[in-house]
Structure 1
Amino acid sequence: MQAISLEGSYNTRGIGPRGAPRLVRTAALDTLTAEGERVLRAHGADLVLDLREPSERGAHDHGLPVRSIPLYGSAPPASGTLEDVYARLIADRGDRLAAAVVAIAEHPGTVVVHCTAGKDRTGLVVALARLAARHDPHEIFADYALSGAAVRTARSGLVAARLDALGLAGAERRDAERLHLDSPADALTTALQRIELGGGIDRYLLAHGATPEHLAALARRFSWRSPSCAGAAGDATAWDSATAARDTTAARDTTAARDTTAAGAAAGSGSGSGSGSRAGSGAGAAA
């Protein structure tokens, strides 16, 4: 994971070897300058994946090709909690999340993924792609957690004005500020736990339109060994508990299925043996 200074945007990081990332995540590129475009191209970027809604997108001057995959399907939430917003995306917009991950898997070059601030929608999509590639979850959490500082610096004034206009105060305002400005690792942990407890990332993506070939392509794209990222250590216990719960459930289901099969086979064997004995005995008596 490497910070990239990008003229005309912010919150930009490369995922992969230094200078040659396999994926770039950033805030919106509507104001990207010619120098900013040069930097992205120097890092191998040759496709932009825009996760915003049509109403959010503005004109841009850069020459990179853009693919649009809106995630929300409606106006972005103005208030609420991070956890609720992420839970709704995972539960209701799995096809869009999977489509974005598939776009990363299918593109042979380096994709630049962004939404507005490069925090929530971008954070989820990048996390899902990396989780499918078997990256260390704690590195994923640490990368996600870096966005908060950059976003607060860039957007605090704008967010305050918008929340003032909505008349939000108290706990509701604190939740909205956290939604728009923060990226606490525990919020992403909670979101990904939902997927783990539902059977894991492979099952989730396959159920929403990805194929085994897409999963294999992600593994190849993200196959380097990345250095450990500092931070997010406090989420290890929660994540490992969810993974253990998933594995325990899977093992229990496998054992139950095996026992059911064995019981059925034994019943069939016993039935067949009993029928054969009775038939043989009856035939002998008749003779």
Structure 2
Amino acid sequence: MLAIDVDGLFNVRASDTTRPWLVRSGAPEALSEAGEKLLIALGVSVIVDLREPAESEAVVHGIPSASVPVYGTEPPATGTLEEIYEGLLRNRGHALTAAVGAIADAEGAALVHCTAGKDRTGLVVALARFAAGASEDDVVADYVLSAPQVRPVRGAHAERIAASVEARERADVLRLHLESPPEAIVHALAVIREFGGAEKYLRAHGLRSDQLAALRRKEGVSA
């Protein structure tokens, strides 16, 4: 995934800088008119929102949106990245797969986001890219790029949460909200392998054959 500049978005990367099939970012509430025009020019036909309804603010763009709440409840404010990723993979497979399906069903490119574009987005993007043929090395290399983009935007929020918990929990809180360490996504990949790999995981949770074929076709066209 390649870093791109889109006015009003942060932590933005795309599978290609001119004709992507997949774009990832943080929340788009500040997306400007110029940013929206750029996304449309890149072929973005749907924005897949992984947040819970209570997290979303008023839509300020005209690109169709698909809401796929990944947690199904209030997002965790504390805990470790590894525990949270594993919990999502083991307990929210149908939601993660629905998000991948929305990417597959997009007529053009899909932009996927949560709040920071790091955790929920990281898992969904990893699964979609694996299904399309990406390697584990590629997925890890993309995942670790989020932290430097997220810290300036989400740092104050993370510090407020860290200040409200016991001292022994603070490092994990800051890591949860601000970091994208390779060991966290590597742990998630190990869980996916337990299920037989991304394709078996997604098929077991409802991804259709035509959606899997669409992901592979999108990657082939973009390459």
TM-score, length basis structure 2: 0.96
Q: In the aligned structure 1, how far is the partner of 2:178 from the partner of 2:124?
A: 18
> How much is the aligned-residue C-alpha RMSD, in angstroms?
1.3
* Correspondence for 1:12: 12
After TM superposition, the structure 1 = structure 2 runs for residues 38-53 of structure 1, keeping only pairs within 5 Å, are 38-53=37-52
SS in 2 for 1:40: helix
Q: In the aligned structure 1, how far is the partner of 2:49 from the partner of 2:201?
A: 22
Q: Which amino acid in the other structure matches residue 97 of structure 1?
A: L
Choose the corresponding residue for 2:213, options 207, 216, 223: 216
8 Å contact from structure 1 (residues 49, 66) kept in 2: yes
Q: In the aligned structure 2, how far is the partner of 1:68 from the partner of 1:225?
A: 25
8 Å contact from structure 2 (residues 45, 107) kept in 1: no
8 Å contact from structure 1 (residues 31, 60) kept in 2: no
8 Å contact from structure 1 (residues 13, 24) kept in 2: yes
Q: Which amino acid in the other structure matches residue 110 of structure 2?
A: V
Q: In the aligned structure 2, how far is the partner of 1:217 from the partner of 1:39?
A: 24
* Correspondence for 2:186: 189
Shift of 1:204: 0.8
* Correspondence for 1:284: none
* Correspondence for 1:157: 156
After TM superposition, the structure 1 = structure 2 runs for residues 66-215 of structure 1, keeping only pairs within 5 Å, are 66-164=65-163, 167-215=164-212
Which structure 1 segments of 5+ residues have no match? 227-287
Comparing both structures, which one devotes a greater share of its residues to helix?
1
* Correspondence for 1:24: 23
8 Å contact from structure 2 (residues 21, 222) kept in 1: no
Which structure 2 segments of 5+ residues have no match? none
Q: How many residue pairs align between the two structures?
A: 223
Shift of 1:162: 2.9
Largest Rg, 1 or 2: 1
8 Å contact from structure 2 (residues 2, 14) kept in 1: yes
Shift of 1:224: 5.7
Q: Which amino acid in the other structure matches residue 177 of structure 1?
A: L
Moved over 3 A (4+): none
8 Å contact from structure 2 (residues 20, 222) kept in 1: no
